[in-house]
């Protein structure tokens, strides 16, 4: 994959986030000066270079690297037998050992009290530098260590910088991709460099129309943004605008709202009113679909967005994550998709050394495109043999991934 080929192996090759990078330099200086700096927590959105930065820091400073992430974690004894002894020793030839606990927010979800205690112990007594990474600094699962680390924030990388990197990659790869396509990929990336490089890879040699298919990664986050505005703004215009500006289909939105009203509105009255507005939205939507009268869609859209927003008179709660509409989960022809994507991701997790969430969000979309291209080029049999052999992905998995029968 291009993301592996172009992994930034020195800190200077990391694009964006110069402030964070200089903090990392200072951290390394302190380690060299034997000043025993406090552990740092690199946090920020996915695909911005957090893990790569930690790797590059180790490499560039001659530190050995001891890394653990959620998919490596087995049990408390791994921590006890590996982490603590390493943190107290010197590495080979007296080198420093950089201890990297990658994706500590994910990892912490798996830890029991015993394991947490070991991590606390590590922070307190490590003679070696320690770096944590996380996507969400405020995740409640890492409450236990927030006070003991120095923050290094990675932000979304600006599209201009991503564009430059993509240009550099196509020059080195000696391929041509239209300027507009590069710009569009960078624009849509939402600051996710990994996502942008993966999209570029999918677009190399592909038809421009394929750009339309690359949205898969964005769609879920897009719907969450719209749902937030609808449930939390309490504001007519904000809710309606977020809906009309997005590409979210009204029918789909109605399903999502239906599934999630009670996850955001704790008051019975609000739930009642929201459902009554949603039922109006749904009736207008059906009528519009049946009769092709466009104006009905407009009413459906207003009831589904502003109607829900104004139903909330009391409190909102953020305690639960949005869940996927169950009627789609159970009734559509792609029934069981999520469960099966999950199982594909689970099998790929040890191969790709990353967690399921990331595999579903970042890797499966590109795998889908790669498989489609491969079937066109080499045929079904050869493609299936290759993916089965190299990744343990079989015909029915491929059907789930492509959303159709082969
Ligand atoms: N700032 C960056 N500069 C250059 N390449 C980057 C940058 N960020 C990400 N990449 C590319 O994306 C890939 C993934 O980046 P990395 O694993 O460091 O992201 P991350 O922030 O750790 O993401 P996650 O939160 O999902 O773990 C890298 O191998 C590299 O190809
Ligand atoms: Mg990472």
Q: What is the strand order of the sheet 130-134 is part of?
A: 64-68, 97-101, 130-134, 40-43, 150-153
Q: What is the value of pTM for the model shown?
A: 0.61
Pocket flag, ligand 1, residue 46 (CB < 6 Å):
yes
What per-residue confidence (pLDDT) applies to 357? 83
What are the extents of the domains in the chain?
A: 2-153, 159-205, 220-326, 337-402
Distance CA 51, CA 358 (A): 13
Backbone φ and ψ of 337, nearest 5°: -45, -55
What per-residue confidence (pLDDT) applies to 61? 94
What CATH superfamily classification does 2-153 receive?
A: P-loop containing nucleotide triphosphate hydrolases (3.40.50.300)
**202: pLDDT confidence band, cut at 50, 70 and 90?**
confident
What per-residue confidence (pLDDT) applies to 338? 47
What per-residue confidence (pLDDT) applies to 335? 38
Query: Across the chain, what does the average pLDDT equal?
Result: 85
**216: pLDDT confidence band, cut at 50, 70 and 90?**
very low
Q: Which residues have C-beta within 8 Å of that of residue 181, sequence separation ≥ 6?
A: 203, 208, 211
How close is the Cα of 142 to the center of ligand 1, in Å? 22
Least confident of 19-28, 203-212, 264-273, 316-325: 203-212
Average pLDDT score over residue span 381-406: 82
Write the pLDDT tens digit of every residue in 238-282. 899 888 877 777 888 898 899 899 989 999 999 999 999 999 999
**Ligand minimally distant from the alpha carbon of residue 165:** 1
Which residues have CB atoms below 5 A from the ion given as ligand 2?
50-51
CB-count burial class (<10 Å; 0-12, 13-18, 19+) for 209: exposed
What per-residue confidence (pLDDT) applies to 162? 97
Pocket flag, ligand 1, residue 158 (CB < 6 Å):
no
Average pLDDT score over residue span 388-398: 79
77, two tokens: 């004894």
Average pLDDT score over residue span 200-212: 70
Contact 151, 27 (CB under 8 A): no
* Sign of the torsion formed by the C-alpha atoms of 174, 156, 44 and 217: negative
Write the pLDDT tens digit of every residue in 309-349. 999 988 888 777 777 766 544 333 333 444 578 888 888 88
Pocket test for ligand 1, best of 46, 47, 153 (most atoms within 8 A of CB): 47
Cα 386 to chain centroid, rounded: 27
Residue 229's nearest CA partner among 198, 256, 251 is 256
**214: pLDDT confidence band, cut at 50, 70 and 90?**
low
Q: How many CB atoms lie within 10 A of CB 168?
A: 13
Write the pLDDT tens digit of every residue in 84-115. 888 988 766 678 999 999 999 888 888 888 88
Pocket flag, ligand 1, residue 50 (CB < 6 Å):
yes
**Atom 7 of ligand 1: nearest residue by CA position:** 49
Distance CA 99, CA 89 (A): 12
327, two tokens: 């009627």
Contact 279, 206 (CB under 8 A): no
How close is the Cα of 379 to the center of ligand 1, in Å? 33
* Torsion from C-alpha of 365, 404, 379, 339, nearest 10 degrees: 50
Average pLDDT score over residue span 157-184: 93
Distance CA 326, CA 330 (A): 6
Least confident of 12-21, 37-46, 54-63, 284-293: 284-293
Q: Kind and range of the H or E element at 170? A: helix 159-173
Write the pLDDT tens digit of every residue in 30-42. 999 988 899 999 9
What per-residue confidence (pLDDT) applies to 110? 81
pLDDT at 303 over 60: yes
Backbone φ and ψ of 156, nearest 5°: -55, 140
> What residues are paired with 257 via a beta bridge?
none
How close is the Cα of 10 to the center of ligand 1, in Å? 13
In the chain, what percentage of residues exceed pLDDT 90? 42
């Amino acid at each position: 994959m291009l993301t592996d080929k172009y992994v930034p192996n020195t800190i200077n090759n990391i694009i964006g986030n110069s402030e964070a990078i200089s903090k990392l330099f200072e951290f390394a200086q302190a380690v060299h000066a034997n000043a025993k700096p406090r552990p740092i927590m690199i946090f920020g959105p996915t695909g911005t270079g957090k893990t790569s930065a930690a790797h590059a820091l180790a490499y560039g400073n001659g530190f050995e690297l001891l890394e653990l992430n959620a998919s490596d974690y087995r049990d408390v004894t791994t921590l006890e037998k590996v982490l603590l002894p390493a943190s107290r020793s010197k590495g080979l030839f007296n080198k420093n050992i950089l201890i990297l606990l990658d994706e500590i927010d994910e990892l912490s979800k798996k830890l029991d009290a015993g394991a947490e205690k070991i991590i606390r112990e590590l922070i307190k007594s490590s003679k070696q530098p320690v770096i944590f990474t996380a996507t969400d600094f405020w995740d409640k699962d890492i409450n236990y260590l927030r006070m003991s680390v120095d923050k290094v924030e990675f932000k979304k990388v600006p599209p201009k910088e991503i564009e430059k990197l993509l240009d550099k990659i196509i020059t080195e790869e000696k391929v041509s991709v239209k300027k507009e396509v590069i710009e569009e990929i960078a624009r849509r990336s939402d600051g996710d460099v990994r996502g942008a490089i993966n999209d570029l890879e999918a677009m190399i040699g592909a038809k421009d129309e394929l750009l339309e298919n690359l949205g898969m990664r964005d769609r879920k986050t897009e719907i969450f943004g719209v749902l937030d505005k609808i449930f939390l703004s309490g504001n007519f215009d904000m809710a309606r605008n977020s809906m009309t500006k997005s590409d979210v289909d009204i029918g789909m939105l109605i399903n999502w709202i239906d599934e999630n009203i009670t996850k955001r509105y704790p008051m019975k009255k609000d739930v009642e009113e929201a459902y009554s507005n949603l039922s109006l939205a749904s009736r207008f939507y059906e009528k519009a679909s049946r009769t092709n009268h466009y104006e009905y869609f407009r009413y459906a859209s207003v009831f589904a967005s502003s109607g829900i927003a104004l139903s909330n008179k009391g409190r909102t709660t953020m305690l639960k994550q949005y869940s996927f509409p169950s009627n789609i989960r159970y009734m559509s022809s792609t029934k069981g998709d999520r469960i099966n994507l999950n199982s594909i991701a689970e099998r790929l997790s040890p191969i790709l050394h990353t967690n399921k969430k990331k595999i579903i969000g970042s890797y499966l979309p590109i795998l889908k495109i790669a498989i489609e291209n491969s079937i066109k080029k080499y045929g079904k049999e050869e493609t299936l043999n290759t993916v089965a052999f190299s990744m343990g992905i079989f015909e029915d998995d491929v059907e789930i991934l492509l959303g159709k029968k082969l």
